[in-house]
Amino acid sequence: MSLASGRMELREVDIRKHYPAATAMLQKLDHTPRIAKATEIPVQERAAMLGTRRRFRTSASGLAMRSGARAEDVHLLSRIENVNKDDPIISPLQATVMNGLRRALAIALAIGDAFSDTSDLGDLKRANLQGSLPAARKSDFTELLQAEALVVGHVFANALAFLLGPHETDVSAKPGEVEEVLTDNARLILHGALWEMDRDIAAHADDDAQLVATVAGFAEELMTKLELRAQTSTRIAAFASASWRVEADGFIICGLTKRPRPNG
């Protein structure tokens, strides 16, 4: 509904209906890297009631369009659980990061729904599923899917940085430039981001403080990358001027503007 300020409320029911999909992405997703290069990283998995040890997987190069690239399993919740591999119990900060990721994904997916409903994208998606998408609208469909990906990816990163802000410390992490930014559609932008985040956690997070710093730093880098991409998009003007509020978190979405993070 509309708020007095003209800002729209993103309803809690519309956010929480995406919790199952968000949780599923965090538990396991398959992603074939197209831009970032896949290198050997440790895969950490915690077996129920048993101690674990790190094992390694060998990954093929993931350069865009290169034949031989293969899908990789990403288990982000397991990755986070094993940041401190000597402690079999999930720490409060690890749980905070997990909940922040789920919440940010759900908020982003809810905004994606709103974007579809307030543009032609919703109708075009339905026509495409029914096999009745007119040839003359295929270009519009592609452009709107890309715009939705920009919106969903930016809101995910913005919400994640905001939610983790109170938990940041003086510890810093520099995950580097985010490379696997795939704007074909909303699902792909999220899968690519989670795949690369998993690798950054493996490379940079040896304790809980570094975990928070790595994930928050990744979110900032992803926002920066998407803001640059959005400069060439002609389909996000309506979203860029829109404003939404998530009441439960005190989080305000103002187009592609970064929301200042609460201090830790």
Of 247, 219, 210, 228, the residue nearest 159 (C-alpha): 219
Instruction: Quote the pLDDT of residue 40.
Output: 60
Q: What is the mean pLDDT of residues 75-79?
A: 95
| Alpha-carbon span 67 to 69, nearest angstrom | 6
Asked if the structure places residue 259 within a domain, the reply is: no
Please give the angle made by the CA atoms of 62, 65 and 70, to the nearest 5 degrees: 45
Instruction: Quote the pLDDT of residue 69.
Output: 59
Asked if the structure places residue 140 within a domain, the reply is: yes
Of 95, 105, 82, the residue nearest 207 (C-alpha): 82
Asked if the structure places residue 66 within a domain, the reply is: no
Asked if the structure places residue 193 within a domain, the reply is: yes
Q: Is 162 exposed, middle or buried (0-12, 13-18, 19+ CB in 10 A)?
A: buried
Asked if the structure places residue 40 within a domain, the reply is: no
Asked if the structure places residue 62 within a domain, the reply is: no
Domain enclosing residue 197, as ranges: 8-29+84-254
Asked if the structure places residue 225 within a domain, the reply is: yes
Give the pLDDT confidence of 64-74 residue by residue, as tens digits. Answer: 344 455 667 89
Q: Do residues 64 and 35 lie in contact, with contact meaning Cβ atoms separated by under 8 Å?
A: yes
Q: Is 245 exposed, middle or buried (0-12, 13-18, 19+ CB in 10 A)?
A: middle
User: In total, how many domains does the chain have?
Assistant: 1
Give the pLDDT confidence of 99-158 residue by residue, as tens digits. Answer: 999 999 999 999 999 999 988 899 999 999 999 989 999 999 999 999 999 999 999 999
Q: What is the mean pLDDT of residues 220-246?
A: 90
Asked if the structure places residue 154 within a domain, the reply is: yes
Contacts with 182 (C-beta within 8 Å, 6 or more apart), sequence order: 34, 35, 149, 188, 189, 191, 192
